[in-house]
Amino acid sequence: MTNHKINVALADRSYSVVVGSGVSKELENFLPRTAKRAVIVTQENIPFSINLSLPHTTVLIGNGEQFKSLQTIEVISEQFAKFGLTRSDVVIGLGGGMVTDVAGFAAASWHRGTAVVQIPTTLVGMVDAAIGGKTGVNIAQGKNLIGAFWQPSAVLCDIDALKTLPDRETRCGLGEVAKYHFLTGDDLLALELSARIARCVEIKADIVAADERETGGRAVLNYGHTLAHALERSSDFELAHGEAVAIGMIFAAHLAHSLGRIDDARLAHHYKVIRDSYGLGVVIPRSVDRKVLIDLMRHDKKAINGLTFVLDGANGVEIVGGVEEKYLHQAFDAMELP
């Protein structure tokens, strides 16, 4: 099976993303030449391991969003210090999106910037979280509110890691894959797994290369994410990220429809792709409160100009600020949330 290699073109911060079976075995070829030792940041339950001849140690972080915290960064950093990790060494993030976000932020902060190589082990990690240099942790007021743009030195997407992925994790990944469908119109389900992941990476790499720090176009990668982040928090993370993104894109479609940005056919297309083709859930859990969701969305990172969403329309998916609350109510009504 051929491997796919995608370049994320960011001048002196450019790097390769390699996708394929067994690619993590090539890890040593992707470590910075200056690295004399490595710290692997991972979790106990990751059923995928890597071989490394470089002197290394492993730091385990807890499972669950509550461990995506500054306290975890402190614990990891203490382990870096004990192991004697220097700025010319390397951190390796091995796990899902939560692990690569945390490992990336720990590396960004350690000695004001130490190299990180990401080895995502979930579909969400491979198609989205580990690519593009967004790293960070949560605080009580919201997800990923503290963090840094810190590009990895390389990303190795070893599809062998996906063999043991629980169905729910696969569904979550498909939520992000469906997002790329709406950004490009590509029929990603027609591709075999490595080619599909590689195409998603390519789409994201182009967007990131054009707007690394999200001063404009990169925001489209947050399609469906405004409601998704609010749903994740208000359901106490009962809904996983990708599941919430799928529902969030349906909400964004209803909102765009209420605003007159898309017609009935385009709204129906969202259901056809997300529910019928990708098999994802599209119903907002009845346990969440509409008012709480709206309040959380007001505090979204994108909400610089009032309630702000990434919405479909005649020009494709784009950022839309100053959305009046009445349109949100119309969208919630259409989705039958009391």
CA gap 213, 180 in Å, rounded: 19
Which residue among 33, 44, 51, 112 is the active-site one? 112
What's the token pair of residue 205? 């790499």
Q: Which of 233, 241, 261, 270 is catalytic?
A: 241
> CA 172 to CA 181: how far, in whole Å?
15
Q: How far is the CB of 219 from ligand GLY (least distance, A)?
A: 8
Retrieve residue 84's tokens: 């004697």
For residue 132, the minimal CB distance to ligand GLY (Å) is 4
Q: Measured from the CB atom, is 23 or 200 closer to ligand GLY?
A: 200
Decide whether 128 or 312 has the Cβ nearer to ligand GLY: 128
- Nearest residue to ligand GLY, scored by beta-carbon proximity: 221
Closest separation between CB of residue 304 and ligand GLY, Å? 16
Residues 338, 157: Cα–Cα separation, whole Å: 42
Nearer to ligand GLY by Cβ, of 226 and 258: the residue is 226
User: Can you tell me the distance from the alpha carbon of 338 to that of 329, in angstroms, rounded to the nearest whole number?
Assistant: 10
Check binding of 218 to ligand GLY (CB under 6 A).
Answer: yes
**Annotation says 218 is catalytic:** yes
179 scored as a contact of ligand GLY (CB under 6 A): no
Residue 134 within binding range of ligand GLY, rule CB under 6 A: yes
Contact call for residues 222 and 302 (beta carbons, < 8 A): yes
Stretch that binds ligand GLY, among 157-165, 182-190, 191-199, 214-222 (CB under 6 A): 214-222
For residues 219 and 126, give the distance between their C-alpha atoms in angstroms, rounded to a whole number. 19
Q: How many residues does the chain have?
A: 338
Task: Give the number of other Cβ atoms within 10 Å of residue 49's Cβ.
Answer: 12
**Span interacting with ligand GLY, options 53-61, 149-157, 217-225, 280-288, rule CB under 6 A:** 217-225
Helix (H) or strand (E) holding 91: strand 90-95
Strands 134-139, 115-120: pairing is: unpaired
Active site residue 225: yes
Nearer to ligand GLY, 89 or 300 (CB): 300
CA neighbor of 77 nearest in space, from 44, 29, 122, 110: 110
Q: State yes or no: is 168 an active-site residue.
A: no
Which of 176, 202, 212, 243 does the annotation list as catalytic?
Answer: 176
Contact 106/118 with Cβ under 8 angstroms? no
Q: Which stretch binds ligand GLY (CB under 6 A): 32-40, 127-135, 146-154, 185-193?
A: 127-135
Output 89 or 169, the one with its CB closest to ligand GLY: 169
Q: Does 132 bind ligand GLY (CB under 6 A)?
A: yes
Closer residue to ligand GLY (CB): 121 or 222? 222
Provide the H-helix boundaries in 15-166.
70-83, 97-109, 123-124
Of the residues 4, 68, 199, 225, only one is catalytic, namely 225
Residue 324, number of CB atoms within 10 A of its CB: 12
Query: Rounded to 5 degrees, what angle do the CA atoms 319, 144, 178 make?
Result: 50
Residue 187: Cβ-neighbour burial (10 angstroms; 0-12, 13-18, 19+): exposed
- Of 107, 221, 228, 239, the residue at the interface with ligand GLY (CB under 6 A) is 221
Q: Supply the minimum distance, in Å, between the C-beta of residue 301 and ligand GLY.
A: 11
Q: Could you list the active site residues?
A: 112, 134, 176, 204, 214, 218, 222, 225, 229, 241
Binding site for ligand GLY (CB under 6 A): 128, 132, 134, 218, 221-222
